[in-house]
Amino acid sequence: MSVQELLDRDFGTIGELVSDHAKERPSALALIQDDRTLDYAALDALMDRVGAALLRENVKPGEVIAICAASSIEYSVAFLGALRLGVAVAPLAPSSTAESLAAMVADCEAKLLFVDRGVAAALEPVRASIAAAWVMLEGERAYAASWQAWLAPEGAEPAPVAIEPDAAFNVIYSSGTTGTPKGIVQPHRMRWSQIRRGSDSGFGPGAVTILSTPLYSNTTLVSFFPSLALGGAVVLMAKFDTLKFLTLSEKHRATHTMLVPVQYQRLMEAESFDSYDLTSFQLKFCTSAPFSAALKKQVIERWPGGLIEYYGMTEGGGTCVLHAHKFPDKLHTVGRPAPGHDIRLIDDSGKEVGPGEVGEIVGRSPAMMIGYHNQPQKGRDAEWHDASGNRFIRTGDVGRFDSDGFLTLLDRKKDMIISGGFNIYPSDLEAVLAEHPAIAECTVIGVPSERWGETPIAYVVRKAGATATAQEIQDWFNERIGKTQRLTSLELTESLPRSAIGKVLKRELRDRYVAAR
């Protein structure tokens, strides 16, 4: 079956598509990492060797393996090879604590744990508590098989496996920015819908996608899988570096990328940005964290190709899409619901709110999680059902639709500040603060107040060479907003704590503030 015939079906798998590309375009590049490359024929063969090795280890379809490592060709092959066998993958964040990683491996009941040299060293203190067998993607350990030794022999092929649409594709653990990570189980059906949409974004033979966000993040995977499934090449960066990203983009004539807002900011701040030839870019994507209108405008004006912002959750539900280059007057929004996606707003009692009103965002689409692994009640708690019984996923975000159907994202519901009975949205305050000429980055949080219940304070990173004091910035800000929104305090800091995909860790800042009082 040809690639196009498979894509025309209601359901298929990425393993089938890679196999078809290997037959039709065997020497086309699939993966690029530094000076190493892998074509589709070699990728297909290695995926088979992974599948055969998993069967040898008695890992069955429907079971789980875990991978915790920096992005690499080996990481990609292990992930894709497991999927071909119908084995789900739990990609874990190396930045997590050793104790958290051990708990996640146990929670997903992984039969095997694939790690790199750095992760193996970090996990050494908890090695005895991890029941999974270890495989080293790089380096050697006495208690772990090396990648090359673990792979099945060349030419090995696993028996074909029939994969059902609702079978688990991966188990992605939430970042932990809101508490204990939960395993989000995404089905093959969800990934297939993303792959089929990929052609609308220009993914396909000839496309080159450069990815510098980690492979454990859904942010990365929503571009990684369509790129390979549709026959393009993926350039992998183990770690984001501004100048290396620009150099690789120019060298490989990159056409697509997925970046988080803080990375766009770093690139726009690079003095040499405009000296690189980036005219090959067709589309750039962004998701995972608030993306300011001012920064979007800069990217559109200075970087060739379109800019698309996605708003959604790893859990699935509804997605909003903003084609920023097409709607320059809507840069303050996250766009309109994607085709086939149903986005609604509800109040605290679960009732839908009217046009123009503020409410919690809930969504429904073909791309929805099965639930949280081993936590069925938390999965049910994340759901909302309309009058017809249709299942929606609650986002925990607060927003408002404008008259054109574009969604303005106000804040995380938990981050909303209630001060003296008034609702204060930190994003509104952050937008004003960002206009100060001395500010490079800022965030606003709510902290306890005996008088008001909660009160807003800000943390600010100044631009290089800026001399404005905290009090000067606070006075400037408080003159420009309503009395109920005024900052009680403004703290200068060298940097804002962020997750690996750029989300500001507001909980850490709250803890820091309270601990200092």
Has residue 459 been placed in a domain? yes
**210: closest CA among 288, 274, 261, 278?**
278
Give the end of a domain, one of 239, 271, 300: 239
Give the end of a domain, one of 387, 412, 437: 412
Based on the fold, state whether residues 364 and 436 are members of the same structural domain: no
Judge contact between 288 and 216, C-beta under 8 A: no
Based on the fold, state whether residues 77 and 202 are members of the same structural domain: yes
Confidence of residue 450 (pLDDT cuts 50, 70, 90): confident
Integer-rounded Cα Rg, in Å, for the chain is 23
The pLDDT assigned to 516 comes to 82
* Higher-confidence position of 458 and 96: 458
Based on the fold, state whether residues 108 and 159 are members of the same structural domain: yes
Has residue 265 been placed in a domain? no
| Residue burial 94-108, b: 16+ Cβ < 10 Å; e: rest | bebebebbbbbbebb
Has residue 271 been placed in a domain? no
Based on the fold, state whether residues 305 and 209 are members of the same structural domain: no
Rounded mean pLDDT, 129-135: 97
**DSSP letter at 254?**
-
Q: pLDDT tens digits for 194-253?
A: 999 899 999 999 999 999 999 999 999 999 999 999 999 999 999 999 999 999 999 999
Based on the fold, state whether residues 430 and 387 are members of the same structural domain: no
Based on the fold, state whether residues 511 and 436 are members of the same structural domain: yes
Q: pLDDT tens digits for 256-290?
A: 999 998 899 999 999 999 999 999 999 999 998 78
Assess whether pLDDT exceeds 80 at residue 102. Answer: yes
Judge contact between 222 and 269, C-beta under 8 A: no
Rounded mean pLDDT, 144-155: 97
Has residue 70 been placed in a domain? yes
**384: closest CA among 353, 427, 423?**
353
Return the CATH number at 391: 2.30.38.10
Query: Could you tell me the residue range of the domain that residue 405 belongs to?
Result: 283-412
Instruction: Record the pTM.
Output: 0.84
Question: Which H or E run contains 404?
Answer: none
Helices (H), 154-206: 188-198
Has residue 145 been placed in a domain? yes
The structure tokens listed for 24 are: 């039709």
Based on the fold, state whether residues 92 and 192 are members of the same structural domain: yes
Based on the fold, state whether residues 63 and 209 are members of the same structural domain: yes
Q: Which residues pair with 210 in a beta bridge?
A: 235, 257
Using DSSP bridges, classify how beta strands 336-337 and 342-346 pair: parallel, antiparallel or unpaired: unpaired
Confidence of residue 177 (pLDDT cuts 50, 70, 90): very low
Give the end of a domain, one of 354, 379, 412: 412
Assess whether pLDDT exceeds 70 at residue 125. Answer: yes
Rounded mean pLDDT, 342-354: 94
Rounded to 5 degrees, what angle do the CA atoms 73, 76, 78 make? 110
Q: pLDDT tens digits for 281-339?
A: 999 999 987 888 999 999 999 999 999 999 988 888 889 999 999 999 999 999 999 99
Residue 230: alpha-carbon gap to chain centroid: 20
Burial class (CB in 10 A: 0-12, 13-18, 19+), 169: buried
Based on the fold, state whether residues 118 and 209 are members of the same structural domain: yes
Which residues contact residue 238 at a Cβ distance below 8 angstroms, ignoring those fewer than 6 apart?
33, 70, 71, 72
Return the CATH number at 487: 3.30.300.30
**What percentage of residues in the chain have a pLDDT greater than 70?**
99
Q: CB-side exposure of 39: number of CA atoms within 13 Å?
A: 8
Q: Left, alpha or beta for 337 (phi > 0: left; psi -120 to 50: alpha)?
A: beta
Q: Which of helix, strand or coil describes residue 65?
A: strand
Assess whether pLDDT exceeds 80 at residue 137. Answer: yes
Judge contact between 405 and 465, C-beta under 8 A: no
The structure tokens listed for 491 are: 């703290």
Place of tokens 């962020």: 498
Q: What is the mean pLDDT of the chain?
A: 93
Judge contact between 324 and 307, C-beta under 8 A: yes
Based on the fold, state whether residues 73 and 113 are members of the same structural domain: yes
Give the C-alpha separation, 136 to 143, whole Å: 10
The structure tokens listed for 467 are: 């001399």
The structure tokens listed for 403 are: 């008259």
**DSSP letter at 126?**
G
Count of domains for the chain: 3
Q: Following DSSP, what letter does each residue of 147-160 receive, concatenated?
A: HHHHSPPTT--PPP
Rounded to whole angstroms, what are the CA distances from 380 to 1, 165, 333, 345, 460?
Answer: 40, 21, 29, 18, 38
Confidence of residue 453 (pLDDT cuts 50, 70, 90): confident
Question: Which H or E run contains 512?
Answer: helix 506-515
The pLDDT assigned to 176 comes to 44
